[in-house]
Structure 1
Amino acid sequence: MLQFILKGILRDKQRSVLPIVVVGLGVMLTTFFYGYLKGVISGMLSSNAKLGSGHLKVMTREYAELEAQSPNDLAILDVPGVLQKLRTFAPDITWVPRTRFGGLLDIPDKNGDTRAQGPVIGIGLDLLSPGSTEVPRMDLKKVTVEGRIPQKPGELLISRDLAKNLHASLGETVTLISSTAGGSMAIHNFVVVGFTHFGMGPLDRNLILADLSDVQYALNMENASGEILGFMDSGYFDRDAAEAEITRFKQTELSSLLVMHSLADSQGIGDYLDMVDVYVWMDLGGMILLMTVVLWNSALMAGLRRYGEIGIRLAMGESKGELLRWLLYEAAVIGLIGATLGACAGMGINYYLQEVGIDISEMMKGSTVIMPPVLRARVLPEGFFVGFLPGLCAIVLGTALAGIGIYKRNTASLFKELEV
């Protein structure tokens, strides 16, 4: 049967070309849209996780209530002990301490007086420990556009834009003015060894990065850190897995003093993900409806063109049900060809955008949202079927709707209709 249908499709191209093109285009657009949207969302989540919240975040209860203020007087104490317990609790997650802080960066002149001064947002993270995962995770070797990353205590990275505004230069000693965990003034000198450029407006304006031990010393936070972040081994945020870890964490002794949040709990990201999921399903539903209507119309036109053929087959004794099943088989084969071509084309476009991406760094200069400077699609196995199955179903459904007309043919008048 399949061989017979394929011969008919190849010999009568008017019967198959338009449906294959319609199904192929619809499936290609659906597959591309799904992969592109998933890639953009994954990139946004990855940027927010690496630079802010992690996939999971552990804090004290009091710190969590005032998280936006980074209240380091409410930081986690005995960080080495807590880290050991967390690594035992979830060994497949990488746990790292970080401390966020704010302050002023003072640039002195040759006499030691203030030459320039500006507000900064700082992150203290493990840069110097052997085997630290923070340098590759933050991609510091790539984003450090001038100078180098810190290699010894007392060294500092500042954003290139901040350096230009403050007229800071490499090798210069600068002073951080902030507040300690106890509330007193903190003054600490650093040597600028590198300028960073993340391509993200909020980070490129006033970000500084220092080793966690230097920040702990400067802010009087020995063995303490504001947050402990967890990163999943896959590198991608899995919302269901994160919620499962939070549920397990609530049953441990650590939950009496600490709380665990997921990336979805920060800055309304969870609501945004829910909205995106709804948007994806609406797009799929709309695409199926659109393809069904177009293919229904195509099947009706084909039915008019094949009106005589269908009449002859009915007159020769072929049942209406058998004829409709045959048309559905034919539509399924045509849909299979079109959906396969469209899904492969969509996956090919997504692969290109996954490797090359779309540079939006110029658009992000004034943005307040943390987004990757290059938007990339993702090639996902389910992306193939997200486009393939709706395309196949649409042509079968369209043919079935058009095939209802077969049952309206009056068998008794067939020979009169076929008179020449």
Structure 2
Amino acid sequence: MIRAAYQVETPLDPSLVAEMMAGEQSSGTFVKVKGETEAIRERFGARVTHLEVLEELDSPSLHSAYLERKGVKGPWKKVAVEIEYPEDNVGINLPNLAATVAGNLFDLGELTGLRLMALQLRPEYRDRYSLPTHGIAGTRSATGVANRPLFGTILKPNIGMSPTETADLVEQLCEAGVDFIKDDEIAGNHPYAPVEERVSAVMQRVRQFRERTGRNVMVAFNITDELDAMCRHADHVQAEGGSCVMASLNWCGLSALQSLRASTPLAIHGHRNGFGAFARHPALGIDFSAYQTLYRLAGIDHMHVHGMGGKFADQTDEVAHAAKLSLTALGGTDDRVMPVFSSGQWAGTLPLTCNKTQSSDFMFLAGGGILAHPDGVAAGVASLQEAWQSIEAGTPLEGANRPALARALDFFGER
């Protein structure tokens, strides 16, 4: 069975609403039809397995013209609902899985709020979908980084640099000691910097650095596009000796990510930009728990979880929970993905991240935290490394004889 957990809001009888949800997303509709036999319902009908009224509300979170037409008033009830769907209703079909557990539920007039909270799959069922090609172990192996977080950055300025200017910055960052570099999500196939030209220019410097030092810096090139173009760009990255590509999950979609996974052995860096549209309102959308399950079934290797104490709206515990979910296996095999912290991160936010995550299996990306360090890029990277040294030693960041870190604390700590 596929088990989906929801939090719904309705002024109607919650048990009737839950049964209606189960019917709507399996063998039934709003009225019984001639071909809906007991045998069909027994084999293919979804079943409500849990129902709990959490609280009563004085006003609805969302408008419903349906309820207005019916003249239905409050009070409105917030309700936890769990529904089990037969696996045979889906087969192995990721877009159809998403349509089954969500789909038209968000449009039902009986509801003034609905949030898909979590998906629980049998390990054997999960393992029939795509698995990460690299995941945590493969990413560590590719970069040669063990027993600490991967420290990286985002290319800034986000856009506007020519391929040569981008390559110059990448070379500088490699020399400064970063483990990982990624494009910003809005960096694309620009007329002034086509993807393939940018990849070739950057990878020439990365290969030269690798050959000279033995260090392999992983670069995630943003190849977000229509599917044929993404596959073509991934092939070019591979041909140039690259190890990673990045895609904007929400705008490419589940099936495109599955096809990209099937077409390339490279690590896929999953960027969740736009996730706030799905999740920021507590009464509507898809919680990260369910979201990450769906996209992990597409076979990604890294997953953005935002950052702690950063520039986005997430609470610290939300970010920590997202990271821990990424580090939890869904199937019988090791399908964990590497959580990626970014958004306003710098040396001073690293201790909280380590404390809340209770793991070193993550990427810690500091854009301005490296590139805007007052003593330069190398000092920006050193400030992260020195912060990690303090964490390992169990000493406060302040007061240590770590010059790059001290300058970072003085400069970023005032912001």
TM normalised by structure 1 equals 0.23
- Which structure shows the higher helix fraction? 1
TM normalised by structure 2 equals 0.23
Query: Which structure would you say has the larger Rg?
Result: 1
Which is bigger in relative contact order (C-alpha 8 A, separation at least 6)? 1
